[in-house]
Amino acid sequence: MGFIADTVTPKIKEWVTGDKPHTVPVVPLRGVIGQMGAMRSGLTLESVGDILERAFKTKNAKAVAMLINSPGGSPVQSALIAKRIRQLAAEHDVKVIAFCEDVAASGGYWLACAADEIIVDDNTIVGSIGVISSSLGFVEVIKKIGIERRLHTAGDNKSFMDPFLPQKKADVTRLKTIQGDMHDSFKAYVAERREGKLSDDKELFSGAFWTGRRALDLGVVDSIGDMHQVLQQRFGKNVKMPEFKARKSWLSRRLGGASQQANVGVWADGLLCAVEERMIWDRYRL
């Protein structure tokens, strides 16, 4: 019987020996976190919730792999997605392994911390455990072209960081307070998920980011490797790695078939979102 199993095709060998290839479902989490626009959906709990559900419900899954490539984005969506990953992992008693590609920074690292193990490439950009807010000021511009800004509010703090008005010290103070609260939440989550692994380096929570090799020294990640190699070593060379992708939304399908002229507003929105997305990626010069 052993001779037959060694000489026949893998499918027949599986039937003869009763040894089925192990399965590790793969969930790609790529892109900016948060709602990006009608035609450019970022990573949100709404957009990835169904994918996660289907992946964790995979029969006899030995683990769930998350393939992460994200420069971050919304702290709220980062927290919501991470929380859902942990809920599903507990519900199905399945280990979660994060494999980070080009970038797992800021909210992208938040997602990686939802895994039980974080594996990166030597050159993966990792970290940026901090909070950032950026905007533009147009006060001098509107003066030069003769535009008068008219703003009326009910409530002293209703107007906040208006780009067409001079920056207020009180607004900056409020913004710093909000950022500090978010940063504390981020730090607490990382400390909880990486308990006993992190170094005491003073730059750990400074917003700095590192290559994968340096991140390993800091205890920010667990090891260096790539998904296919690691999963084949752990679960056999015939391990199945089905990838779970988001289904295209009804709106995207509908607009994709309509005329370009009719959708000029949507495409303009998409262009603006693309610029914003590029700016977020460019924080890591990639």
Residue 134 burial by Cβ neighbours in a 10 Å radius (0-12, 13-18, 19+): exposed
* Residue 172 in domain: no
How are the residues of the chain apportioned to helix, strand and coil, as percentages rounded to the nearest 5? 45, 15, 45
The pLDDT value given to residue 147 = 74
* Residue 230 in domain: yes
The three-state secondary structure class of 132 is: coil
Whose CA is closest to 228, among 213, 249, 243? 243
Structural domain including 263 reads: 19-129+187-282
* Residue 66 in domain: yes
* Residue 257 in domain: yes
The three-state secondary structure class of 194 is: coil
* Residue 41 in domain: yes
The pLDDT value given to residue 166 = 72
Query: Which two tokens mark 171?
Result: 């607004």
The pLDDT value given to residue 96 = 98
The pLDDT value given to residue 164 = 65
Whose CA is closest to 79, among 119, 109, 57, 52? 109
How many domains are contained in the chain? 1
* Residue 163 in domain: no
* Residue 166 in domain: no
Spell out, as residue ranges, where the chain has pLDDT lower than 70: 1-19, 36-41, 132-142, 150-165, 171, 247-283, 285-286
CA 10 to chain centre: 37
pLDDT tens digits, one per residue of 130-174 = 776 666 666 666 677 777 776 666 666 666 666 666 777 776 777
Q: How many CB atoms neighbour CB 66 within 10 A? A: 26
Distance between CA atoms of residues 147 and 157, nearest Å: 24
Question: What CATH number does the domain containing 101 carry?
Answer: 3.90.226.10
pLDDT tens digits, one per residue of 4-33 = 444 444 444 444 444 688 999 999 999 999
The pLDDT value given to residue 278 = 64
* Residue 10 in domain: no
CA 40 to chain centre: 15
* Reported pTM: 0.78
Cβ-proximal residues to 246 (8 Å cutoff; 6+ apart), any chain: 41, 47, 48, 50, 51
